[in-house]
Amino acid sequence: MTKLKSFQLALEFHLKCLSIEEKSLAQDHPSIGLSYFHISRDYLALQQYKNALNYAFKAIQQTSQFDFTNLYTFHRFIAEIYFEQEQFQQALEYFEKSLEFVDDQDKSSMTVVYYRIGSIHQQLSNYSQALIFFKKTLDLELETLDHDAQTIATTYSRLATVYFHLNQLTDALEMGEKALNQLLKTLSFHDPEVNDARQVLDQLKILQLLRE
């Protein structure tokens, strides 16, 4: 079975479930909101963005009055739909809204959203804002992840790029070195990812020498 067919079957199943729930449950039942969300995910998988957004908004409307447990997930999902369409301002708005519903102890969710917000600001060339959110991402990753997590190297690399665009080559070089060293905790010196990080670092060193 192809992935497309699988997504279509999932959509048909969830639409049938919704139809049954709407006939058998109270109008404000939280299960209906979850069904809206499942349908939204199916439409996103099928790249039917308008329908995906429509059902995601229905999920929020269905649950916002009495059930706050899923509002982070629903708002972040809407942000991801906009992000996939490269509608970055709308994505930014909903990533920021999703933070309103994150428990202070849920550092994993906060890390993901900070990274996504940083990525959007970088995409929009708002490098000072990107720097703020990538730093927040890094702080949480260093606090919560294993010391050799490759995700940390990705954030160091993002910081190197942002510092480069801010014309802060010394800081960019430092982050580039940290990205490389982080990768070397788990990968061999000849791994393609390590090679890419090494090439970036060499380029930064050349630029720094040219400016001295």
Q: Average pLDDT, whole number, for the chain?
A: 93
The answer to whether 88 and 59 have CB atoms below 8 angstroms apart is: no
How confident is residue 3, by pLDDT bands cut at 50, 70 and 90? confident
The pLDDT tens digits of the residues spanning 52-98 come to 999 999 999 998 776 677 899 999 999 999 999 999 999 999 999 99
Q: pLDDT at position 73, please?
A: 92
The residues near 16 (Cβ < 8 Å, ≥ 6 apart) are none
Question: Is residue 19 one of the residues assigned to a domain?
Answer: yes
1, 64, 5, 2: which is closest to 37 by C-alpha? 64
Q: Maximum distance among all alpha carbons in the chain? A: 74
pLDDT higher than 90, residue 4: no
209 confidence band (pLDDT: 50, 70, 90): confident
Q: What is the pTM of this model?
A: 0.90
Query: What is the number of alpha carbons within 13 Å of residue 83 lying toward its C-beta?
Result: 21
SS (HEC) of the chain:
CCHHHHHHHHHHHHHHHHHHHHHHCCCCCHHHHHHHHHHHHHHHHCCCHHHHHHHHHHHHHHHCCCCCCCHHHHHHHHHHHHHHCCCHHHHHHHHHHHHCCCCCCCHHHHHHHHHHHHHHHHHCCCHHHHHHHHHHHHHHHHHHCCCCCHHHHHHHHHHHHHHHHCCCHHHHHHHHHHHHHHHCCCCCCCCHHHHHHHHHHHHHHHHHHHHC
Is 7 within the bounds of a domain?
Answer: yes
For residue 9, tell me if it sits in a domain.
yes
Q: Report the number of distinct structural domains present in the chain.
A: 1
For residue 24, being part of any structural domain is answered with yes
Express each pLDDT in 108-134 by its tens digit: 999 999 999 999 999 999 999 999 999
Rounded to whole angstroms, how far apart are CA atoms 76 and 12?
A: 24
In a domain, residue 59? The reply is yes
The reply to whether 37 falls in a domain is: yes
- Residue 16 Cα distances to 2, 27, 34, 54, 139, angstroms: 21, 17, 13, 17, 45
Residue 146 in any domain: the answer is no
What integer pLDDT is reported at residue 1 of this predicted model?
A: 65
61: in domain: yes
Q: How far apart are the C-alpha atoms of 72 and 103, rounded to whole Å?
A: 9
Q: What is the pLDDT of residues 160-205, one digit of tens each?
A: 999 999 999 999 999 999 999 999 999 999 999 999 999 999 998 8
Residue-range definition of the domain harbouring residue 60? 1-67
The residue that leads in pLDDT, 16 or 207, is: 16
135-168 pLDDT, tens per residue? Answer: 999 999 999 999 999 999 999 999 999 999 999 9
Instruction: Give the confidence band of 30 by pLDDT, cuts at 50, 70, 90.
Output: confident
How far is Cα 93 from Cα 111, in angstroms, rounded to an integer?
17
